[in-house]
Chains A and B, each alone.
Chain A
C-alpha cells in the first residue's frame, strides 16, 4: 500500500481549506496552502517514483472501495501507476507547482484571490485523479472534473461577459466530446463487461475490429473535445479569457493533453482499429496545419499561443495516430515545458504592459524585461524545433514516425513546423524588438514569477534530452525501428530555421512588409485573420437552428400549448369540483371529527362483512 490516494487528496484538502475558509485567510496563508498542497503532492509523486524500483515490472495498483456494483459488473475506486502514469504525474504536479508559484505573483492584485487558488487546487485534484485512474469511469470523473474547473477558471472574471460566454462555450463544446466518451464507455461495458483498464486491454485483441473501431472513434471524439482538435477546437482560443496561469496550466500543459493521454492509455484498443488510427492521424495533422495558419495572423499574444497549442496538440495526435504513442507522450511532455513557459512568459509580458495583450501595442520589451525576453527566447527556440532543444527531439520523433507511416504526412508536418516557428518568432519579435508602443511604463515581473520561468526555460532547453520518453516507455510502446533517418531531421530543422529567419526579416528588418502582404493577399489574409469564420459557420449551422427550434417548437408549442394547457385544465376542473365540495365544510372541527368517526365506523362494517369468514375461522 503506497497510499496513492494522497497524491490527489492533498490538493483537494487545499481546495477545501481555501474554498471554505479562504475568504477569511490573509493572502500569505492562501498562498501557503495552495502551493504547499501541490508541492507536497509532487513530493509524494517523487516518493512513489523512488520507492518503486521498476514500474514496468511492478505497476502499483490500489483498490480503495467498490463504487458501483450491479450483478457481475462492478467499478471500484482504483488507482494505478505505471510508467506512463508516472510521467504524467511528474508533468502535472511539477509544472502545476511551478505555475502555482508563478500565480501567487501574477494574481497578487486580483479580486477573489482565494477563489482562484481553490479552483486551481480542485483542478489539480481532478487532473491527478484522471491520470491515476485505473478504469475508465474514474478517469471520466477526473475528465469531467477538469472540465468543470476549466469552466470555472475561464469564467474567473465573471463580471466580463466575454469571459462567461467563453466559459460556457468551453463547457458546451466539451459536452459533445464527453457525450462521445460516455458512449464509448457504454460500448466498452457492453462488449467487455468491465471498465478496468487491464482487463479491457487484455481482452481487446480478441474483439471484432468493428467494435474496437467504434469504441476508438468515440473515444477520439471525446479526446477531440478535451484536446481541442478539429472540429471541436473552437473553445480553446476563447478560453484565453481566463487568467494567464490558467491558460498555462490547464489550456496548455495539462488538461488539453488529457485527450492524448487517454488515447495513449487506450493504445491497446487503437492499435487494433487501424481505421481509427488513420482518423486520429488525419485529424491531428489537419488540426496542426489549420491552427498554424490561423496563428500566422493573430495579434493577441495569448491567441497566438492558443492556436499554437492547438496545432501542437495536433502534432501529438499525429504521433498517436501514426502509432508512435511514446513520441506523442514525449511531445506532450516537452510541449508542457515550453508551452507553459510561453504562456507564463506571455503573462509576464502582459503583466509588464499593464494588461495589454495586443502585440501591436508592445515591442522593445527586451530592455525592460530582460529575463522574460531570455526565457521566452528559449521557449520559442524549443517550439520551433531548434537543434537539441526539447522540441527538436519530440517533434522529430513524431515526424519521422509519420514518415514511416505516410510520407505526405511528414511533409505537411514539416511545413507546419515552419509555420509554427514563423508565428512564434513573429510574436517574439513584435513583443521584444523595436520601440515600446504601449502606454505606461513597462516593468520586469517579480521574482516569484521569474523563478518558474527560469526553471521552465532550463527544462524546455534540456528536457527533451534528459527525459527520453521513448526509451522510458520502451517496455510499453516498442520504438518503431528503421525510422532513424537523419535527413528527415535536417529537413525539419531547416524548415524551422527558415520560419525564424522569415519572421525576423518581416517583423524586424522591414516592418511594412506584412501590411503589404496582407493587402495583396487580402482575401486569404481576412480568411486567416477571422479564423476561417469557423465560429460563424458553427453559429449558422448548429447553434442558431437549435435556438430557433427550441423557441418555436419546444417553448411555444410544447410548453405553452400542451403542458400549460393540461395544468390550467386541471386547475379549473379542481376548482369546479371544490365548489361542489365546499358545501360540506362547516368550518367546525368537531363536526369534521364526527364525520371521520362515522367514516371509521363504515369502514369497520365493510371490514366486518368481508372478514367475518376469517374471523370465524380464527374463532374456532
Chain B
C-alpha cells in the first residue's frame, strides 16, 4: 500500500517538476509547481508529518503560489523568449547536474541502504501537538527570530511597494 502511494505521488511530483522546468509559460510552470507541492504534501502524510503536510498546502500552495500567480497575472507575463547568453550554464550545466544527481544517488544507496523503512503509521510524532510542543519549548528562540524575520520581510515589501508606487 505504502509503496503504491509513494510511487504514484513521487511520479506526479517528478512529472510536475519536469513540467515546471520545461513549460515556457509562467502560469503553466506555477500550476505544475503546485502539483509538486501537493504531491509532496501527500508524501509528508505518508511520512507521518500530518501537520507539516497541511502547513505545506496552506503556506506554499495557498499563499506563496497564489502570490506568484497574482504577480504573473499583474505583469501579464507571456511565454518567455528563446534568447540566452550564458554559455557556461549551457555547456557545463547538464553534465554538472548529472554528476550531482549521480553522486548523491550513489551516496544514498551506500549510506542509507538499511536506514529503515517508512511505513504509514509507524511514526506519529508529526501531530500538531508534538510539533507545537517542540516549537515552543526547545525551538522557542528560532521561532521568535523567524517572527522578527517575517516582520522585516513585511517592512521590506511595503517599502518596495511604496517606491514602486510613486
Contact = CB atoms under 8 A, between A and B. Distances in A.
In-complex A–B contact (CB below 8 Å): yes
Interface of A: 586, 588, 590-591, 593-595, 597-598, 600-601, 604-605, 607-608, 611-612, 614-616, 618-619
A588 B111 contact: no
A593 B106 contact: no
B92 interface: yes
Contacts of B88: 586, 588, 590-591, 594-595
A601 B86 contact: no
A615 B99 contact: no
10 contacts: A591-B89, A594-B96, A595-B88, A597-B93, A597-B100, A611-B111, A615-B110, A616-B110, A618-B112, A619-B113
B11 to A, nearest CB: 25
Contact of B96 (A598, A612, A615): A598
Nearest to B87: A591
B85 interface: yes
Interface in B85-109: 85-89, 92-93, 96-97, 99-100, 103-104, 106-107
B106 to A, nearest CB: 7
Contact of A590 (B86, B112, B114): B86
Given A597-B97, A597-B100, A615 B107 contact: yes
Given A594-B88, A598-B96, A604-B103, 7 more contacts: A590-B88, A594-B89, A594-B93, A611-B111, A612-B110, A615-B107, A618-B114
- Interface size class of chain B, counting residues whose CB lies under 8 Å from the partner chain: 20 to 34
Contacts, number: 57
Contact of B111 (A604, A605, A614): A614
Contacts of A604: 100, 103-104, 107
Interface of B: 85-89, 92-93, 96-97, 99-100, 103-104, 106-107, 110-114
Contacts of B87: 591
B92 to A, nearest CB: 5
B104 A618 contact: no
Contacts of A586: 88
Nearest to B113: A619
A607 B107 CA distance: 9
A204 B139 CA distance: 47
A608 B106 contact: yes
B107 A601 contact: no
Which residue, A593, A594, A595, A605, has most C-beta atoms of chain B within 10 A?
A594
Contacts of A601: 96, 99-100, 103
A619 B110 contact: yes
Contacts of A605: 103
A593 B86 CA distance: 11
Contacts of B106: 608
A450 to B, nearest CB: 55
Contact of A598 (B92, B103, B111): B92
A597 B96 contact: yes
A97 B132 CA distance: 52
A595 to B, nearest CB: 8
Which residue, B88, B92, B113, has most C-beta atoms of chain A within 10 A?
B88
A618 B108 CA distance: 11
Given A600-B100, A619-B113, A594 B107 contact: no
B89 A618 contact: no
Nearest to B92: A594
A607 B104 CA distance: 11
A168 B25 CA distance: 69
A616 B104 CA distance: 15
